[in-house]
Structure 1
Amino acid sequence: MSDTEDSEVEAIREQKRQELVEAATGSDAPDEPIHVEDEAHFEELLETHDVVLVDFYADWCGPCDMLEPIVEDVAAESDAAVAKLDIDALQRVAQSYGVRSVPTLIVFADGEQAEQMVGVQQKGAIMNLLERVA
């Protein structure tokens, strides 16, 4: 085999190794927040991922804007899937979980609501919460 073929084969092997490691650790969560499109998408996220942190927010909410970069950091550093759910677009979902103010963070474990935090939170508090639930 030529050097080019060897490097292509090695790249494929490395990709497969990475996929196996992710499958073994359950770390299939994306590195950035997932924007929930509709109720079906929300349910799919809860079924697909073991732990899901959902940021219930509104575009007009100042504290939600303050929390956004923190939520992005948590998504990048955590094994949990992180979702953003617009309460104006998906009012029925927000109401079904008792969301009365924004921002509200709800952690789901195995599809069930496990923890809830209301208001702007520090990254460390969110990460600690996810570690307790996981």
Structure 2
Amino acid sequence: MESPDRPISVDTAADLDALVDEHPLVLLEFYTAGCAMCQALEPVLGTVARASDVVVATCNPQTDLSLAERFQLGSVPTLVLLEDGVEVGRLADGFQGVEAILAFVEDARSTSRE
């Protein structure tokens, strides 16, 4: 299945579970409204979606607090890489550029295959 060329908005745990069932590799960004770093990350994630085979999704955990608990979120933005529904990588270091996120995705995928 082809991955979308822009981030998909996920509002609930059920939305996320359906997306993960459909796509083996999902990069999920957790953000909150009013977060300047999160807003700055938006165009970067669009480029990541177009430049890779990973499905990029965005989620405001305030729309479904169970997601904040499920992923033990401490800060935003937080990027979580899910492979077959299992977290294989997490990046919670604030703003990251396209190259850093693509490297993170590749590193996490490589590590999960070992």
| Runs of 4 or more above 2 Å deviation | none
Matched, 1:63 2:40: no
Name 2:95's counterpart in structure 1.
Answer: 120
Name the CA distance, whole Å, in 2 between partners of 1:129 and 1:62.
Answer: 22
Structure 2 residue 109 is matched with structure 1 residue 130: no
Deviation at 1:120, TM superposition (A): 1.1
Query: Normalising to structure 2: TM-score of the pair?
Result: 0.88
Give the count of matched residue pairs.
108
Secondary structure in 2 matching 1:88: helix
Q: Which amino acid aligns with 1:120?
A: F
Higher helix share: 1
Gap regions ≥5 residues in structure 2: none
- Say what the alpha-carbon RMSD is for the aligned residues: 1.3
- Indicate which of 63, 66, 69 corresponds to 1:92: 66
Instruction: Report the TM-score, using the length of structure 1 for normalisation.
Output: 0.76
The amino acid of 2:98's aligned partner reads K
Larger radius of gyration: 1
Give me the whole-angstrom Cα distance separating, in 1, the residues matched to 2:9 and 2:66.
Answer: 16
Aligned to 2:57: 83
